Amino acid sequence: MHPFRQAVEARDEAAIEALLADDVVFTSPVAFKPYPGKPITAAILRAVMRVFEDFRYIREIPDVAEPSGRDHALVFEATVAGKKITGCDFLHLDDDGKIDDFMVMVRPLSGATALAEAMAAQFERITEEASAAVAAEEPSS
């Protein structure tokens, strides 16, 4: 089992964040532009944990053609605002084994729409959490 899957299933936010590379890029299924950086990606993943109900991974697909084992696909099911969704987390690992590319896809459209609405309601909090994390990392003068 992939360590990210273990962390998510344990709902261990600290472990999830620890698996992210500082320069991770998160590509959302409902936003046009990717989100670069660990603070925003961690904040988005915390929000997802708040809006997904009955979340469970149902399949883990390693890239058998890639001997380095850097690409993983984790298929999941969840409910958002009463809509059942199926999705996939596509993870790419850097040389240190940290997630440096994280793309999510979901279906059906009604579920993606419900997810977009639920995440839009979380976005002010996501932005505040990411900004606080960045401020905490900055050296004080």
Instruction: List the CATH number of the domain containing 19.
Output: 3.10.450.50
Angle at Cα 72 formed by Cα 66 and Cα 76, nearest 5°? 155
pTM of the model: 0.89
Please state the domain count of the chain.
Answer: 1
**What is each CA distance from 13 to 6, 47, 58, 96, 107, in whole angstroms?**
11, 11, 20, 20, 25
Cα 108 from Cα 62, distance rounded (Å): 24
Q: Has residue 30 been placed in a domain?
A: yes
Q: Has residue 137 been placed in a domain?
A: no
- For the CA atoms of 141, 21, 35, 46, the dihedral, rounded to the nearest 10 degrees, stands at -90
The residues facing 91 across adjacent strands are: 72, 102
Q: Has residue 141 been placed in a domain?
A: no
pLDDT by residue for the chain (141 residues), tens only, comes to 789 999 999 999 999 999 999 999 999 998 889 999 999 999 999 999 999 999 999 999 876 666 667 899 999 999 999 999 999 999 999 999 999 999 999 999 999 999 999 998 988 888 898 888 888 887 765
Q: Has residue 64 been placed in a domain?
A: yes
Which DSSP state fits 139?
P
Looking at residue 4, its pLDDT comes to: 93
Q: Has residue 139 been placed in a domain?
A: no
Domain that holds residue 118: 3-132
Q: Has residue 138 been placed in a domain?
A: no
